[in-house]
């Protein structure tokens, strides 16, 4: 039923046709499912893997945005909760037409006893 909507294969691509090549592709590209993200990556309109533009608008679809961790092009180094909230806030600002906030150059805080204290 979905065949009319299917395009050509994007990943792993035509060059991955043997079991060995598929195994190598999985080893190189597989990620943890503990922090699911990146299924709807953000990027430029000319990026074949991008689903949404930098304003969270679905490329090629009017009046639809995605504002969750699925738009992350790469998994973050920590929990997805904070970055996901930030994406929702930023998408809301885009929808409401609010200008970007000024840059904040605050340095991250690192516990001086980070090696021995609870994190």
> Looking at the annotation, which residues are catalytic?
35
Here the tokens at position 56 are 């969270």
Torsion from C-alpha of 9, 13, 19, 23, nearest 10 degrees: -110
- Contact between 119 and 78 under an 8 Å Cβ cutoff? The reply is no
Q: What stretches of 19-80 show up as alpha helix (H) in DSSP?
A: 19-29
Distances from the Cα of 104 to the Cαs of 54, 96, 100, 107, in angstroms?
Answer: 20, 22, 12, 9
Q: How big is the CA angle at 35 (ends 13 and 84), to the nearest 5 degrees?
A: 105
């Amino acid at each position: 039923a979905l065949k009319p909507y299917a395009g050509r294969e994007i990943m792993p691509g035509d060059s991955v046709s043997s079991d060995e090549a598929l195994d190598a592709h999985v080893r190189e590209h597989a990620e943890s499912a503990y922090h699911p993200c990146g299924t709807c990556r953000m990027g430029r309109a000319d990026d074949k893997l991008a689903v949404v533009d930098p304003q969270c608008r679905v490329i090629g679809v009017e009046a639809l945005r995605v504002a969750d961790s699925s738009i992350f092009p790469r998994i973050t180094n920590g929990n997805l909760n904070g970055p996901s909230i930030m994406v929702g806030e930023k998408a809301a600002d885009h929808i409401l037409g609010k200008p970007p906030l000024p840059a904040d150059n605050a340095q991250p805080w690192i516990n001086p006893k980070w090696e021995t204290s609870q994190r």
